[in-house]
Amino acid sequence: MKKRAWTIVWCLCLWTALAQAQGSNTILLRAIGEAEALLTDTVDYPAGAVVMLQDAIDVAHNMAEQELSQQLFNSSTSDLREVMTLYRAAKGKTFIAPDSQGGDWGGSIDRGFRHPGGLHTQADFDRIRQQLAAGNPTVVAAYNKLKSAEYAQSGVQTYPVETIVRGGNSGQNYINAARGATMAYQNALRWKIEGTKANADAAVRILMAWARTCKLVSGDSNWALAAGLYGYEFAQAAELMRDYEGWAGDDFEAFKRWMLTVWYPGNIGFLRSRNGTWENTGNQGGIRPGHYWSNWPLCNALAVISIGILCDDVFIYNQGMSFMKYDQVGSFQDPRTANPILNDGCTEFIGNLVVTTSESSLETGAYGKLGQMQESGRDGGHAAMALGLAVDICHVAWNHRLGDALA
């Protein structure tokens, strides 16, 4: 009986100690509410500042859901409030071009990007024109195919929608966006190669029609594919047209804001959450950052990268690149685990994207080993898509060479 009494006393003491050790998240939740209220006004703030505050809010939410000491709750609150202070200070901070200053500005707005600098550079177009002038039969035949393509005609019509829908039982209209981005891109290519004003005007007309109409990308979980695929395609087309004198400066700025407000939040949101599967909010067997096959995060990473280039935002560019360059989960082992095809990390990360490598008798000696990608055992279409997206990311990195290991 005495032993039982001592056991009860010991349990009560332990419970009291634990209760005292666990702090209250009240002040942190109050700070989160204030921070979220700040984010309702993003008009005059740099995109990087908006992302910085959203990141801090996401971290704070995660901390608020834990059973932590009061010291940790207080520390998290201080961290969030510090970011809120920086966000307020960033209001109205923009880079002003030297020629608008009237004289020697004494600074530089060069962020290190090449323009055009998406999938194509000016050197690429110069080389194509030289090949056409020289009558290279392969290049001439290829360009004639582009010129005869239905979507490469200056009179082609696009049909923008206010809400892009991909997935679900009804109302899907994403093909309009896919076609619209293709039309703008192919007309932009023709202008860059031949200098045809009609194609340039068509590309701008199509891009602005979508920017003035579309306000949301939605659907079931497949909305993320629409956000990634058509987001990067619209950004790449606009990058080709950025130096066209017929695209009014105010309209170009409006288009960039469209990419930052309609596309970018969805792109980076998917990369961070994977539609809730990363943290597995349904609590079905632990976190699952590798739930989605690689083409999903690859297209969204490419969209973020492309938007960063278009908007001259190094922060956004590096965000996109980081998902392919770095192990965001911390689960990667080199060599990979005993089960190399286990999706235990982000599937777009290069260490997980190429799941196995081997020596081969094929002509791969100049490039390294033969690799099998994460999508390789699925089907031909998805495997080719993932490879193409990965190559496009690496090609963009090569075009810029901003210290990227991928280059």
All domains of the chain in start order, with CATH = 2-89 (1.20.1270), 98-400 (1.50.10)
Q: What is the pTM of this model?
A: 0.76
* Listed range (321-330, 375-384, 397-406) with the worst mean pLDDT: 397-406
pLDDT higher than threshold 50 for residue 371: yes
Smallest CA-to-CA distance from 65 within 79, 76, 53, 80 is with: 76
* Listed range (179-183, 265-269, 278-282) with the worst mean pLDDT: 278-282
pLDDT at residue 202 in the model: 98
pLDDT higher than threshold 90 for residue 11: no
Contact status, residue 286 vs residue 212, Cβ threshold 8 Å: no
Contact status, residue 240 vs residue 189, Cβ threshold 8 Å: yes
Q: d(Cα 112, Cα 109) in Å, to the nearest integer?
A: 9
21 vs 146, residue with greater confidence:
146
Contacts of 352 by beta carbon, 8 Å cutoff, 6+ apart: 290, 294, 327, 332, 336, 343, 344, 345, 346, 374
pLDDT higher than threshold 60 for residue 258: yes
pLDDT at residue 99 in the model: 45
Q: Give residue-wise pLDDT tens across range 182-214.
A: 999 999 999 999 999 999 999 999 999 999 999
Contact status, residue 237 vs residue 184, Cβ threshold 8 Å: yes
Contact status, residue 256 vs residue 313, Cβ threshold 8 Å: no
Q: Give residue-wise pLDDT tens across range 73-103.
A: 887 898 889 888 988 988 887 644 444 344 4
Smallest CA-to-CA distance from 351 within 317, 377, 325, 318 is with: 325
Tokens of 50: 């908006």
Average pLDDT over residues 42-66: 81
Average pLDDT over residues 113-136: 96
> For 363-389, b where at least 16 C-beta lie within 10 A, e where not — what string?
eeeeeeeeeebbbbeeeeebbebbbeb
pLDDT higher than threshold 60 for residue 364: no
pLDDT at residue 356 in the model: 85
| pLDDT band, residue 107 (cuts 50/70/90) | very low
| pLDDT band, residue 279 (cuts 50/70/90) | confident
